[in-house]
Amino acid sequence: MIPRGASGSDLLDKLRALAARRAEVDADAAFPGDTIIDEVLSASEVVIQGRRTLMLGSNNYLGLTFHPEVRAAAREAVDRWGAGTTGSRVANGTLAIHTALERELAAHFGKRHAVIFTTGYQANLSVVAGLCRAGDVVIVDADSHASIYDAARLSGATTIAFRHNSPEDLARKLARLPSGRRDRLVVIEGVYSVRGDVAPLKEIAAVCREHGAYLMVDEAHSFGAYGPRGLGRAEAEGVLDAVDFTVGTFSKALGNVGGFCVSDRPELDSLRLLARSYVFTASGSPATIASVRAALRVIARDSSLRERLWANTRRLRARLEAGGCLVEPVESPIVSIPVGEELPAVALWQRLLEAGVYVNIMLPPACPHGACLLRASCSAAYTTEEIDRAAKVIAGVVREAGVRRTAGAESPIDGG
Ligand code: PMP
């Protein structure tokens, strides 16, 4: 047995190690993960360090955070229901607007049941750890979001990872399990958030059906963007009926915070008493719930935002490529640019910020060492002028840093 403390005699050592890493970067410069936004001017522009900055790292895919109807709904809800719920639905009760949103989400997806959660992270914790326990098996895509891995760990179930986006490897792993049991849950994402690549959902759904596994799809980054009605990748691939549990978040296309699960399975409802991250946490605030209801109404009636998102995505990709930038060749509003090692990547990110463009930066463990990425998430909110300006700045800074475009980086994007 390894003696306690062998990895460092002080609990604070790991925090000090991180601070030392932070100190390697110029102390006055902005630091990833620690950016203060002083003002939000619109869905596309913020003020950082006194500078007007184009916000290309928001996940605000449809720009709904500033939609007049969405903001009005939040304001009215505060006046009518108060600022917060101050507790869990199980303990403090459910507001009628919570159940109204659940009904509307279920109807929007054409599913019978819906449960909402306080965050998307908690939606994953609740569904996976509510469904699975010790003795069950959770099978996750190797590139799954941290919330899915945390959910699997919380469940206590045996966790198996299959090779990213490989239905063949999933089939191999399922075939090794005892047959004739229904104690296994396969968890994938519609779109993977680091590179923006989409799951081969049709094939994965077929493998799940063949092996009697339940399928859960996290459509966090795909809801609102893909499919004829914007329901996500499962709708886009025509396999919505093959998905047992669709999970999503309010924090991206829906422009607020929270999460949901929709399903045709009536058993879903019992999660409300089983899932610790539903039972033991406060429910979404009235302003949040009301604004999400308004955002959902906008999405349901107006497909032009989705069309705008894809037009903007195509434009951003094309402008970046024309500027000599290597972009990940995926069909997604997530536009990732490989930039190599960690310290040069951070320096690049800082230069972009100084030039008035905010993007996300992916550093280990979100990506392999030496394979850092800058990630822009496109939005329907951007004007063509903003896209052109952002692409010019990004391509210029990336080019100057000597990150070169390599062959085979053509974007196959076709508008989803
Ligand atoms: N799932 C995925 C795939 C995500 O990318 C995220 C957040 N980025 C979440 C779940 C968690 O959602 P939230 O931030 O709304 O808690």
Here the CATH number for the domain that contains residue 231 is 3.40.640.10
Same domain, 196 and 287: yes
274 and 151 in a common domain: yes
The lowest-confidence range among 3-17, 126-140, 175-189, 254-268 is 3-17
Taking only the tens place, the pLDDT of each residue in 272-289 is 999 999 999 999 999 999
Q: How many CA atoms, within 13 angstroms, populate the side-chain half-sphere of residue 124?
A: 26
Q: 204 C-alpha vs ligand 1 centroid, how far in Å?
A: 21
- Say if residue 254 is in the same domain as residue 358: no
Q: Counting atoms of ligand 1 from 1, which one is nearest the CA of 191?
A: 3
Query: Any catalytic annotation for residue 113?
Result: no
Point out the domain boundary residue: 286, 301, 316.
Answer: 301
What's the 187 CA to ligand 1 centre distance in angstroms?
14
Are residues 100 and 240 located together in one domain of the fold? yes
Q: Are residues 150 and 272 part of one domain?
A: yes
Tell me what pLDDT residue 6 has: 54
In 10 A of CB 266, how many CB atoms?
9
Number of domain units in the chain: 2
Mark whether 218 is an active-site residue: yes
Ligand 1 centre from 12 Cα, in Å?
A: 28
> Are 309 and 213 found together in one domain?
no
Calculate how far, in angstroms, residue 40's C-alpha sits from the geometric centre of ligand 1: 22
User: What distance in angstroms lies between residue 175's CA and the mean position of ligand 1's atoms?
Assistant: 30
pLDDT value at position 416?
27
> Among residues 108, 252, 285, 360, which one is catalytic?
252
How much is the average pLDDT of 308-336? 96
Residues with CB under 6 A from ligand 1: 119-121, 124, 145, 147, 189, 193, 218, 220-221, 249, 251, 259
Active site residue 252: yes
- Is residue 8 assigned to a domain? no
Residues 259 and 176 in one domain: yes
**How far apart are the CA of 8 and the centre of ligand 1, in A?**
32
Q: Which atom of ligand 1 is nearest to the CA of 257?
A: 15
Total length of the chain: 416
Q: Mean pLDDT, to the nearest integer, of 328-346?
A: 93
* The one catalytic residue among 67, 145, 173, 211: 145
pLDDT, residue 366, reads 86
pLDDT tens-digit map of 114-143: 999 999 999 999 999 999 999 999 999 999
293 lies in the same domain as 309: no
Domain boundary pick from 241, 266, 301: 301
Q: Is 145 a catalytic residue?
A: yes
Domain assignment present for 261: yes
Write out pLDDT tens, residues 372-397: 999 999 999 999 999 999 999 999 99
Helix axes 286-301, 68-81, angle to 10 degrees: 150
Catalytic member of 141, 143, 189, 237: 189
The parent domain of residue 310 ranges over: 23-55+303-401
Query: Is residue 194 in a domain?
Result: yes
Residue of 197, 218, 244, 321 marked active site: 218
133 lies in a domain?
Answer: yes
Q: 144, 165, 193, 336: which is the annotated catalytic residue?
A: 193
CATH of the domain at 331: 3.90.1150.10
Tell me, yes or no, whether 344 and 262 share the same domain.
no
In this structure, is residue 91 part of a structural domain? yes
**Residue type at 348?**
L
Q: In Å, how far from its chain's centre is CA 208?
A: 23
Same domain membership, residue 324 and residue 389: yes
Mean pLDDT of 65-89: 98
As a whole number of angstroms, the distance between CA 313 and CA 333 comes to: 5
